[in-house]
Amino acid sequence: MTIQEWFDKRKEAQIQRRQLEASRSEDVTTGLWTKCVHCEAQITKRDLEENMMVCPSCDYHFRINARERIHQLFDKDSFEELFREIKPTDPLGFVDTVSYVDRLEKAKAKTGLEEAVITGIGEIESHKIAAAIMDFDFMGGSMGSVVGEKVTKIIEEAIARRLPVIAITSSGGARMQESALSLMQMAKTSCAVSRLDEAGLLYINLLTEPTFGGITASFGMLGDIIIAEQGARIGFAGRRVIEQTIRQKLPADFQTAEYLLKYGQVDMVSKRQDLRKNIASILDMHGV
């Protein structure tokens, strides 16, 4: 198979996947009603939104974007976004089935964001805290140079202001369109977290659905306290990759927040409705 044939085959598979996702979306969401993807209960959109995008029938936590996460966690009008002016470029002139520039423009149009992370300073029950909030809707929450730079800069800002930091992750991992430049962000962000530790400041991780790859291999799992949202899938490689590698069937709950708590990889699993209260309690305990 030639390289061109490989790309043509991949493009055809992507088109088929998008068509399938579109048909599923039409099936799940109709008018004022939404069907839970877990228990298939019919829920009004209003009821779902009032329940913080958690199914009232089975407690399934729907994925939410960064703006909604800020709305749910932070005190009203307290969040000040920083470093929005830092925007991605195309350092490698990368093209696969679609150019990287086109993918970025599509992601911006879809989300209204410039990158896969929002950084800033806000208050949670009057506790001031610096935050990095990732958005999976922007290219799968992948970490490129700008994500790494913004996470690093918000940590440096926290050190300068003597503030605790919370990193709220939702990501598929490193951004392949930036190759080694993306992978370098793992070391960069980890070094920033190390400097935060040396400064004696609190670092909290909140892992949400899904958190994988280079994020779990760097700043996503380095917190003094690691919280996982109920039902979130967390890992490095995906389930299918691991099963194909070890040629064994994995447990049904493998890589879930609850599984990681059982084996000591996270400190707490929290329902979405309790996150604000739990984070505020942690900040209270640490006197910040």
For the segment 239-286, what is each residue's pLDDT rounded down to a tens digit? 999 999 999 999 999 999 999 999 999 999 999 999 999 999 999 999
> Residue 5 — pLDDT band, cuts 50, 70, 90?
low
> Residue 2 — pLDDT band, cuts 50, 70, 90?
low
Sequence spans of domains, the chain? 64-285
Segment (H or E) for 205: strand 203-211
Quote the Cα angle for 184-189-195, to 5°.
130
pLDDT > 90: percent of the chain: 85
Q: What is the mean pLDDT of residues 82-89?
A: 96
pLDDT of residue 275: 98
Is it the case that residue 16 has pLDDT exceeding 80? no
Q: What is the mean pLDDT of residues 116-129?
A: 98
Measured distance CA(220)–CA(226) in Å, rounded = 9
CA distances from 19 to 12, 16, 25, 104, 265 (A): 11, 5, 10, 21, 37
Burial of 120 (0-12, 13-18, 19+ CB in 10 A): buried
Is it the case that residue 75 has pLDDT exceeding 90? yes
Segment (H or E) for 218: none
- 17 or 136: which carries more pLDDT confidence? 136
SS (H, E, C) 118-178: EEEEEEECCEEEEEEEECCCCHHHCECHHHHHHHHHHHHHHHHHCCCEEEEEEECCECHHH
Q: DSSP labels for 89-110?
A: --TT--BSSSBHHHHHHHHHHH
Q: What average pLDDT does the structure give for the chain?
A: 92
Among 3-17, 59-73, 121-135, 148-162, which stretch is predicted with the lowest mean pLDDT? 3-17
pLDDT of residue 160: 98
CATH classification of 64-285, choosing from 3.40.50.620, 3.40.50.150, 3.30.450.20, 3.90.226.10?
3.90.226.10
pLDDT of residue 4: 58
Measured distance CA(144)–CA(211) in Å, rounded = 15
pLDDT of residue 1: 58
pLDDT of residue 207: 98
pLDDT of residue 39: 92
For the segment 20-51, what is each residue's pLDDT rounded down to a tens digit? 555 444 444 456 888 898 898 999 999 999 99
Q: What is the mean pLDDT of residues 175-184?
A: 96
Report whether 229 contacts 61 (CB < 8 A): yes
> Of 62, 175, 40, 57, which Cα lies nearest the Cα of 116?
175
> Residue 17 — pLDDT band, cuts 50, 70, 90?
low
Q: What is the mean pLDDT of residues 103-114?
A: 96
Report whether 127 contacts 280 (CB < 8 A): yes
